[in-house]
């Protein structure tokens, strides 16, 4: 699997993984195992692990569509007529 496709799979899996994590935390609260207010760091840890996996899979040279273009797409326009160098 190439880097772009693998990254897309990881990005697509982020939502379901978070839903499963939150569901498991609520189930643990209902079972009396731990309070949801004390387990919120688990959500941050899961998000961090998902981002780490995504960063490890994506090659460093890949350009994402949201990144700005740093070059000039068009040459500068010519000066208007009559505004050249006077002789």
Q: Is the four-CA dihedral 2, 7, 25, 19 of positive or negative sign?
A: negative
At 2-25, the pLDDT tens digits run 666 777 787 888 889 999 999 999
At 20-78, the pLDDT tens digits run 999 999 999 999 988 888 888 888 999 999 888 888 886 655 555 666 666 766 777 77
At 39 the pLDDT is 84
At 85 the pLDDT is 60
At 79 the pLDDT is 78
Cα–Cα distance measured from residue 13 to residue 7, given in angstroms and rounded to the nearest whole number: 10
């Amino acid at each position: 699997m190439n880097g772009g496709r693998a990254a897309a799979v990881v990005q697509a899996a982020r939502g379901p993984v978070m839903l499963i994590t939150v569901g498991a935390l609520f189930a643990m609260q209902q079972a009396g195992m731990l309070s949801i207010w004390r387990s919120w760091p688990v959500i941050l840890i899961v998000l961090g692990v998902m981002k780490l996996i995504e960063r490890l899979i994506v090659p460093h040279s890949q350009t994402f569509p949201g990144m700005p273009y740093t070059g000039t797409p068009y040459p500068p326009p010519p000066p208007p007529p009559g505004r050249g160098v006077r002789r």
